[in-house]
Amino acid sequence: MKNCEYWQQQLSRFLDGDLTSEEEDALWAHIADCPDCAQAFEDFSQQTSVLRAQVVRPPVDLSRLVMARIKNGQTDPASPRAEKPVSHRLRPWRKLAVAACFVALVAAAAVTGLFSRGVPMSGNGESAAYLPSAQSDTVYAAVSGRSADTAEAASAQEDTASDMLEAAAPAEEAALSLPAPEPDAPEAAEDTAADEAAPENDAVTESATMPIAADEAIPAAGETGLTGSADSGIMTVMEPPASTQEDGAPACQVLDGAGQPLGRIEDAAALRALLTGEGWDGGEPEPACTLELDGDDYAFAETEDGGLLWRCGGDGWTLSPAAMADLQALILPA
């Protein structure tokens, strides 16, 4: 009986054409003598056969929808920002309150201050573990204006993104092999006690082992803008050298919670770089300020612990107090 686990795993592999003929022979020999495994064979076979027939056509023409959304926003796949997320109007937040805390902080040296500690890739502990420091360094290089190096660095990152798809990452990229971090602990646990694991834990384990953001986090050299979806709860940002920003126009006007002009932000790249964080489900506190960037409305507020909460399209993200200071530093007086 104890061995049945092994034989049924072999059975599963058989269904996937993964057994050698010797392994197959041994499997049949066992099944002939073991009613439990014979039953498992019947069951696995039936369900697999049914499952493999379960292909459903999408109810709409997906390709047309996708193409319409692409054409609506852009024509160049190398400029991801041009494909804008659906813009939701920001729901009116109740009233201005914390607005004063944003007023007129000087921007001089602010950008340096922001990037000297690296771009805040994420406030989420889990994803932070999979966004290694090397990546932040490259982001830093990319935003700090060293264009020649930057192109190389970004290109290297790009290669890495593709390489991440390969099971075995070369040693020098170990730090960037996002899926790798904890393969032993959770997986071993799962494989020995998977059936006992609570479903929720399974989900958490899976999320933690998925290379989330590995591909989206690393656009090709010269790309700009937000990557990742506003739906993801985690946003990652790559920026080209500031000099490649499309024009020198002020990036956006900043309004206070009452809709009155509060200032402006010139450094759109730094602002976009700020827009990361951990998903927020805590409702809609009063905005301290609002702004429009790349066609989307953003609202910012202060969290209870002095951190930065930003919202866009009905979703919210939170960042540390340091990010709050960074945002304040970005806002130039009106």
Residues of span 112-131 touching another protein by CB under 8 A:
none
Subset of residues 11 to 40 that bind another protein, contact rule: CB under 8 A:
12-19, 21, 24, 28, 31, 38, 40
Does position 307 interact with another protein (CB under 8 A)? The reply is no
Pick from 149, 173, 182, 215 the residue near another protein by CB under 8 A: 215
Subset of residues 136 to 195 that bind another protein, contact rule: CB under 8 A:
158-159, 161-167, 178-180, 183, 187, 190-191, 194-195
Q: Is 273:138 a contact under the CB 8 Å cutoff?
A: no
Does position 203 interact with another protein (CB under 8 A)? The reply is yes
> How far apart are CB 213 and another protein at their closest, in Å?
7
Closest CA to 206 of 145, 289, 126: 126
Neighbours of 138 (CB within 10 A): 22
Does position 47 interact with another protein (CB under 8 A)? The reply is yes
264's CB contacts (< 8 A; 6+ apart) are 250, 251, 252, 253, 254, 331, 332, 334
Does position 3 interact with another protein (CB under 8 A)? The reply is no
Q: Which stretch binds another protein (CB under 8 A): 65-73, 102-110, 266-274, 316-324?
A: 65-73
Burial 110-132 (b: 16+ CB within 10 A, else e): bbebbbeeebbbbbbeebbebbb
Closest CA to 119 of 139, 104, 101, 103: 139
Does position 91 interact with another protein (CB under 8 A)? The reply is no
Burial 181-193 (b: 16+ CB within 10 A, else e): eeeeebeeebeee
Closest CA to 219 of 269, 173, 283, 154: 154
User: For another protein, which is the closer residue by CB, 137 or 187?
Assistant: 187
Subset of residues 250 to 269 that bind another protein, contact rule: CB under 8 A:
none
Q: Which stretch binds another protein (CB under 8 A): 72-80, 87-95, 289-297, 324-332?
A: 72-80
Does position 2 interact with another protein (CB under 8 A)? The reply is no
DSSP 77: T
Residue 253's DSSP bridge partners are 264
# chain residues binding another protein, by CB under 8 A:
98
Pick from 153, 223, 237, 310 the residue near another protein by CB under 8 A: 223
Pick from 122, 138, 150, 209 the residue near another protein by CB under 8 A: 209
Pick from 1, 22, 33, 51 the residue near another protein by CB under 8 A: 51
Does position 80 interact with another protein (CB under 8 A)? The reply is yes
User: CA–CA separation, 315 vs 151, rounded Å?
Assistant: 33
